[in-house]
Amino acid sequence: MSELKYLTGFDSEFTSEDPRRPGALPVGQNSPQRCPYGLYAEQLSGSAFTAPRNENKRSWLYRIRPSVVHKPFKRSNIAKYLTHNWNEAEPDPNQSRWSPFDIPNEKVDFVAGLHTVCGAGDPRARNGIAIHVYLCNSTMEKSAFYSSDGDLLIVPQQGVLKITTEFGKMEVAPNEIAVIQLGMRFAVAVDGPTRGYILEVFDGHFKLPDLGPIGANGLANPRDFLTPVACYHDEEIPGFKIISKYHGVLFEAEQNHSPFDVVAWHGNYVPYKYDLSKFMVINSVSFDHCDPSIFTVLTCQSTKPGVAIADFVIFPPRWSVQENTFRPPYYHRNCMSEFMGLILGSYEAKEGGFLPGGASLHSMMTPHGPDAQCFTAASTGELTPQKIAVGTQAFMFESSLSMAITKWGAETCQKLDPQYHQCWQQLPKLFSNHLNV
Ligand SMILES: O=C(O)Cc1cc(O)ccc1O
Ligand SMILES: [Fe+2]
């Protein structure tokens, strides 16, 4: 799959035809009486029909059978730890840190391996988010998955995801991300132990942040986003299962064919991937510490101006040059919740304890900041230009919602570090009789 082709651009109107069937896209209209090659036309809507033009999202799929050809959905319990029940565990405002989540030894695929760590809100009211980790080791067989609850921003940490979607195939490695939006069907193939994080947003879609005075270029550039090209499977597959996540639980419906039977498509509602190493990092080159919003890759905005349902923020390799400044993250308390994960390497504010494949949650107004060791080093070190975070990639899902931890996150996973608070206990009292210290 390594020579996969992609279309480039973000928020674009794309067209794609499987080269085996040239001319499969109807010309000049969406729904001819009979489509080229006799295909069915099906619209996939990602916004209300009447959404303003700049928010309107839909794609037209030209397929061998319409998606409606399936048996009734029945409840499925294959993902035991997928939940939207935010009342399972007692509320806990403490700083939380998880050691790397275990990848099971027994055979588990991407869907069965979904474990919800925390979240808030309800897809029924189209308001909320869920943060899941996937812990798996085997390829989805004769099944495809979609979420009827929200868009999925997938952050692989270990193992490449070979994702087949209705729009075509994409391969997503650690240090890349994929976004698969509400309703899009996909199947994941893996090559062994595989782990990563998922941010699911129950309303809206991810956008590139506005750049304001930064200007027309920078941060994640639109041309670096990659969307798959049409690639159909014309296959009869008895007992193929369509798995839907609906109201926070799974349902499966049988059909006797591959759902990846789209011969051509066009539209602006598509799955995509992005390589985080392409991010153009902008930061202070004089003094003081920019808020981490300067590292926003994608944002899902709420209806309050500038307030995100969730932002996806990274901490990429970069030069640190600020003078007369405490360079690492400042101590703070936030009216947003901060869930962090680590893809590679280590994170400057916590050199120990926060490990690849693990996570942390600093909930609304819960104080946090650099550990004692980081504070001492950064407040006494010589401030020469320094390349930092080399070979590392930490990220944050920052949300205006106040998230609850699930029972799996709090207890069952057995990864919560009860000693996390210790990393701040050695911070000394600092107060001198001298103005200049
Ligand atoms: O808490 C964290 O480590 C994330 C973070 C990083 C930063 O540079 C400034 C603020 C912030 O919340
Ligand atoms: Fe923070």
Between CA 173 and CA 71, with CA 82 as vertex, the angle to 5 degrees is: 95
ipTM (interface pTM): 0.98
Check whether 70 is labelled as a binding-site residue.
no
What the block records as the tokens of 42 is 């099906």
Q: 């490449």: which residue's tokens?
A: 160
Distance from the CA of 436 to the center of ligand 1, in angstroms?
27
pLDDT of residue 352: 78
Distance from the CA of 362 to the center of ligand 2, in angstroms?
7
Say if ligand 1 is within 6 A of residue 292 CB: yes
Say if ligand 1 is within 6 A of residue 159 CB: no
Q: How many CB atoms lie within 10 A of CB 175?
A: 16
Say if ligand 1 is within 6 A of residue 311 CB: no
| CA torsion through residues 71, 72, 74, 76, sign | positive
pLDDT of residue 351: 76
**Active-site entry in 70, 233, 289, 362:** 289
Q: Where does CATH 2.60.120.10 sit in the chain?
A: 6-276, 281-417
For a ligand 1 pocket test, name from 291, 347, 366, 393 the mutation site with the most ligand atoms within 8 angstroms of its C-beta: 291
Q: Which of 210, 185, 128, 193 is nearest to 156 (CA)?
A: 193
Atom of ligand 1 nearest to the CA of 291: 9
Say if ligand 1 is within 6 A of residue 396 CB: yes
pLDDT per residue, tens digit, the chain (437 aa), is: 458 999 999 999 999 999 999 999 999 999 999 999 999 999 999 999 999 999 999 999 999 999 999 999 999 999 999 999 999 999 999 999 999 999 999 999 999 999 999 999 999 999 999 999 999 999 999 999 999 999 999 999 999 999 999 999 999 999 999 999 999 999 999 999 999 999 999 999 999 999 999 999 999 999 999 999 999 999 999 999 999 999 999 999 999 999 999 999 999 999 999 999 999 999 999 999 999 999 999 999 999 999 999 999 999 999 999 999 999 999 999 999 999 999 999 887 787 789 999 999 999 999 999 999 999 999 999 999 999 999 999 999 999 999 999 999 999 999 999 999 999 999 999 999 999 98
Residue type, 297: V
Question: Which residues does residue 182 pair with via DSSP β-bridges, in sequence order?
Answer: none
Q: Which of 419, 331, 415, 420 is nearest to 368 (CA)?
A: 331
pLDDT of residue 298: 98
For a ligand 1 pocket test, name from 281, 312, 332, 400 the mutation site with the most ligand atoms within 8 angstroms of its C-beta: 332
**CATH class for the region spanning 6-276:** mainly beta
SS3 string, the chain, reads: CCCCCEEECCCCCEEEECCCCCCCCCCCCCCCCCCHHHCEEEEEECCCCCCCHHHCCEEEEEECCCCCCCCCCEEECCCCCCCCCCCCCCCCCCCEEECCCCCCCCCCECCCCEEEEEEEEEHHHCEEEEEEEEEECECCCCEEEEECCCEEEEEEEECCEEEEECCEEEEECCCEEEEECCCCCEEEECCCCEEEEEEEECCCCCECCCCHHHCCCCECCHHHEEEECCCCCCCEEEEEEEEEEECCEEEEEEEEECCCCEEEEEECCCCEEEEHHHCECCCCCCCCCCCHHHHEEEEEECCCCCCEEEEEEEECCEEECCCCCCCCCCCECCCCEEEEEEEECCECCECCCCCCCCEEEECCCCCECCCHHHHHHHHHCCCCCEEECCCCEEEEEEECCCCEECHHHHHHCCCECCCCCHHHHCCCCCCCCCCCC
CATH architecture observed for domain 281-417: Sandwich (2.60)
Distance from the CA of 135 to the center of ligand 2, in angstroms?
26
28: phi then psi, degrees, rounded to nearest 5: 75, 0
Q: Which of 260, 104, 276, 270 is nearest to 190 (CA)?
A: 104
Atom of ligand 1 nearest to the CA of 334: 12
Residue with CA nearest ligand 1 atom 7: 329
Distance from the CA of 395 to the center of ligand 1, in angstroms?
10
pTM above 0.95, yes or no: yes
Say if ligand 1 is within 6 A of residue 294 CB: no
pLDDT of residue 346: 86
pLDDT of residue 2: 54
Check whether 347 is labelled as a binding-site residue.
yes
Distance from the CA of 357 to the center of ligand 2, in angstroms?
19
Say if ligand 1 is within 6 A of residue 336 CB: no
Say if ligand 1 is within 6 A of residue 341 CB: no
Q: How many CB atoms lie within 10 A of CB 170?
A: 24
Q: Is 289 a catalytic residue?
A: yes
Atom of ligand 1 nearest to the CA of 368: 1
